[in-house]
A and B are shown apart, each in its own frame.
Chain A
Amino acid sequence: MMKIDKDKLLIGAAGPVLALVSSFVLTMLVLLATGLDPIEPIQLMIENAGYADIQVLIINQTGIYYLAALAVAIGFRMNLFNIGVDGQYRLAAMISAVVGASVELPGPLHILLIVVVAALTGAFWAGIAGILKTTRGVSEVVSTIMLNAIATSLIAWLILPKNLGVQPEGSNDLTTGEIAESGWFPGIDMGQGNGEIYGFTFVALALGVVYWFALNRTRFGFDLRATGESESAAQASGVDAKRMILTSMLISGGLAGLSGMPTLLGDTHTYSLSFPVGVGFTAITIALLGRNNPVGILFAALLFAFLDKASSSLDVEGYPKEITQIMQGIIVIAVVVSYELVRRYGTRRQQQKVGEELAAGGAIKTDKEVSA
């Protein structure tokens, strides 16, 4: 039993490791091809990651990526591809910022209200795709991509000063107004201008534990994974597959909505035109790289946050910081390829083993027959 588990673990880890190694090698080749030193940028990045202010940025970004990647992963476990995490994240951040700025409540309540509104908005937006899928059979891939575009237009309209937006005097930015201090999530100040670790980062980690527990230790998690493996089989064993689809879409959207909270509650306290975008797309790669496993996703999120933040000063040293984007892009391709390779290898190995065992078993039987 132990031996098989070790095998499984090795094969499970082989995919990401293969993907990372090949992406690093390919990136170095790109650097070489452009006539740059392939080693120094990597050294610089590792050096950068040693500084406290960069570490704060990395940790905060990890929390954001982690939440968004959990949102993607829960869909993946259900065999649903929620590409709409980015739209859900942006819309939820915007709506919750508007609600947060319009009320003033005692501290914890104010924060709770904003967080709940964000989760509900995200869930609502993803739920549209869920309902379309369960009632009309519309592929969630198509509908969530479209909902991303609709979210963009909806936000652009809502944030106009004549609707919900505010244009601060003298600014060319549009915001949703500043949330009162009671709605700021306290963080950990790292001192000396090194920045603050967003308090919501710890909520993100806690949600990782909840994710693990719900998926592996509850009836709901079992149903979800079963439906993801085979919808018809799950249905035959009494699982309402349609309800599972809708539920997991709602949870995915809710988590996507929460992924805007570290930034909103810990830093900007408003939604503006310069609110970070693209989180939901990076999260897809992170969930893939982390194999939908809460610990794997944490490391993948940490890696991507490291690539993002440690590279920020590369251009000052004369290296294009875009190399990290190349690296991230190659990781996406490498992940898909290496997982397939590893899967095939695993299947072949399994077949071999079964064959060997059968042969061995057969031999014993023959022995017995002979002896008898």
Chain B
Amino acid sequence: MGIASAALALSATACGKSSNDSGSDSDSKATKAAIAYDIGGRGDQSFNDAAYAGLKKAEDELDVKGAEAEPSSGEGDADKVQRLTSLARAGNNPVIGVGFAYAPAIKKVAAQFPDTTFGIIDDTSVTGKNIANLVFNEEQGSYLAGVAAAKASKSGTVGFIGGVEVPLIKKFEAGYVQGVKDTNPKAKVLTQYLTQPPNFDGFAKPDLGKAAAQGQLDKGADVIYAAAGLAGSGAIEAASKAGKWAIGVDSDQYNQAGLAAYKDSILTSVTKDVSDSVFNLIKSVKDGKPQTGEVRYGLATDGVGLADSNPKYKEMTDLIAAVNKAKQDIIDGKITVKTAP
């Protein structure tokens, strides 16, 4: 109880002052950018790390001073408001919320700081003059993965593993299934989600991905696409050990050090260029022309796409031709990819 009462005593003396008052730095000339992470924080090998890569690149190339803030477990909107407010008051511009969970908080904070640009990834529900909505056509990249999977499959059965059953991951599923069916109408797609929200283990625990992949392999699947963050590495491991194909997600997983042992089995990866979206926003603010409104990254701008690092993938000319055709058709608007299964 000692600490609690000490804290109480302190709060009584320092009442009225806000934690943000002390934050404003003197060197307002230098551009300062901040990102506030989603659940998991830095080191998740996926979403948050990609955002950090964008910030790092901005630090190196644009001489921007970066700040990062991580969420606490079990926090609410009020904590996010406080975090964004203190980042904005400290003179960071832009302030980027990584993940849709920041939407309600950005709505409140952006109104208070009209001169600061706020970025939010994966959400267009909050809008404002100083809000940039960084969104991706995950379904388009996943459609191409579906085309590749249908072409690479010999058994006619392919698998999809979603980390957590949330609308965002359903976009991946929708595009993938459509891509498979359009390429081979007779193909069977096995779909499985690892966990239900608010249990986000499905993005974090490789053993869950491994078990799910094993189940799909037993049912005859020979290509497995896992959109499951860190848990996906378990699926890649299982597919690799069975001598089947795996398709990675978010970054080019063929080149990921942690997966080097299984990389020969990683047919391709559906990339989502979160890092460039963060970098571009920071750059636009530094250049004095801040992005605003919806900034969409799709196939046309290579914001999403398929990686071709695996030499075996490059050998499959028939597959590559089909993928390229599908890509062009999507860009030309001949194919509309569904965003919900």
Instruction: Point out residues on A near B: beta carbons under 8 Å.
Output: 13, 16-17, 20-21, 24, 46, 48-58, 60, 90, 152-153, 155-156, 167-174, 192-195, 263, 267-268, 273-279, 282, 299, 302-303, 306, 308-313, 315-316, 321, 325
Contact = CB atoms under 8 A, between A and B. Distances in A.
B77 interface: yes
A89 B10 CA distance: 32
A304 to B, nearest CB: 9
A169 B76 contact: no
A199 to B, nearest CB: 14
Interface centre among A53, A173, A274 (most CB of B within 10 A): A274
B135 to A, nearest CB: 8
Contact of B78 (A171, A195, A310): A195
A196 to B, nearest CB: 8
Contacts of B103: 171, 173
A189 to B, nearest CB: 13
A169 to B, nearest CB: 6
A170 B14 contact: no
A316 B74 CA distance: 19
B81 interface: yes
Contacts of B68: 315-316
A279 B16 CA distance: 28
A315 B52 CA distance: 14
B32 to A, nearest CB: 12
B257 interface: no
Interface in B275-296: none
Interface centre among A21, A56, A299, A315 (most CB of B within 10 A): A315
Contacts, number: 155
- Dominant secondary structure at the A interface: helix
Given A20-B2, A156-B196, A268 B18 contact: no
Contacts of B79: 57, 309, 312
B264 interface: no
A294 B122 CA distance: 44
A28 to B, nearest CB: 13
A16 to B, nearest CB: 6
Given A17-B2, A21-B2, 13 more contacts: A53-B20, A53-B86, A56-B78, A171-B100, A172-B123, A193-B112, A195-B78, A273-B101, A302-B7, A308-B72, A312-B79, A315-B69, A316-B68
Contacts of A49: 7, 10-11
Contact of B196 (A58, A153, A312, A321): A153
B258 interface: no
Contacts of A16: 1
A321 B72 contact: yes
Given A315-B69, A316-B67, A172 B122 contact: yes
B156 to A, nearest CB: 30
B10 A313 contact: no
Nearest to B168: A172
A302 B166 contact: no
Nearest to A278: B74
Contacts of B77: 267-268, 274
Contacts of A309: 79
Contact of A50 (B5, B14, B75, B125): B14
Contacts of B8: 302
B294 to A, nearest CB: 8
A104 B242 CA distance: 58
B256 to A, nearest CB: 24
B76 A168 contact: no
Contacts of A315: 68-70
Interface in B190-208: 196-199
A152 B74 CA distance: 15
Interface string B44-88: 000000000000000000000001111011111111011101100
B274 to A, nearest CB: 14
B73 A325 contact: yes
Given A170-B124, A192-B18, A60 B85 contact: no
B165 interface: yes
Given A90-B198, A276-B75, A325-B73, A195 B81 contact: yes
Contacts of B82: 53-54, 57, 195, 312
A35 B81 CA distance: 32
A48 B112 CA distance: 22
Contacts of A193: 18, 20, 85, 112
Contacts of A172: 100, 122-123, 166-168
Contacts of A313: 19, 69, 83, 86
